[in-house]
Structure 1
Amino acid sequence: MAAPTMEERKACWGARDEFWQCLDSHGDDAAKCEKLRRAFESRCPQQWVKYFDKRRDFLKYKKKLETEGYHPPEAAGKS
């Protein structure tokens, strides 16, 4: 796979940002952002789409940790 050009990278990042903004404004309801998701997937290499999906999940998790703090899970077998 050839590396994306600067224009292709900008198009990919722009599509990603629009999709993420849509998710943020609709409470992560992907059904309401389906058109933007398809644009995101068509403008970005598949590996990048997977990476950006994981990155978004990580950033949301990190923000939750920063605002709510860490709460260890209850141990199921505690005596």
Structure 2
Amino acid sequence: MNTEMSAPNASERKACWGARDDLWKCLDVNQDETSACGKQLKEFESKCPAQWVKYFSKRRDFLKYKDKIENEGYEPTEGASKL
């Protein structure tokens, strides 16, 4: 990935998204054990701009949280106020 602040071109975006998908598949198979997906993580970080890596990491956490809420329901934490 180039280090300039220019936006990635179409082939760079495609490479980034492919690397992200490979990493996410590995994490799904390995119950989010990042040590099992070092190769995919390194590939993802090298093919995507740093801001995208940060965004996609937060996005994955959000999607997993959303999926958990939809499948298991919401349970307030102990001591949370009941509105």
Same fold (TM over 0.5): yes
How far residue 22 of structure 1 moved from its aligned partner, in angstroms, is: 0.3
Aligned-residue identity in percent = 63
TM-score with structure 1 length normalisation? 0.93
1:5 aligned partner? 9
Instruction: Give structure 1 regions of 4+ aligned residues with deviation exceeding 4 angstroms.
Output: none
When structure 1 is superposed on structure 2, of 66-75 and 3-12 the one drifting more is 66-75
Is 2:51 aligned against 1:62?
no
1:72 aligned partner? 76
SS in 2 for 1:27: coil
CA distance in 2 between counterparts of 1:3 and 1:49 reads: 14
CA distance in 1 between counterparts of 2:27 and 2:64 reads: 12
How far residue 42 of structure 1 moved from its aligned partner, in angstroms, is: 0.2
Segments of structure 2 that go 5 or more residues without pairing to the other structure are: none
Is 2:30 aligned against 1:26?
yes
CA distance in 2 between counterparts of 1:19 and 1:75 reads: 36
Is 2:21 aligned against 1:17?
yes
One-letter amino acid of the counterpart of residue 15, structure 2? A
How far residue 74 of structure 1 moved from its aligned partner, in angstroms, is: 1.8
In the alignment of these two chains, the number of paired residues is: 76
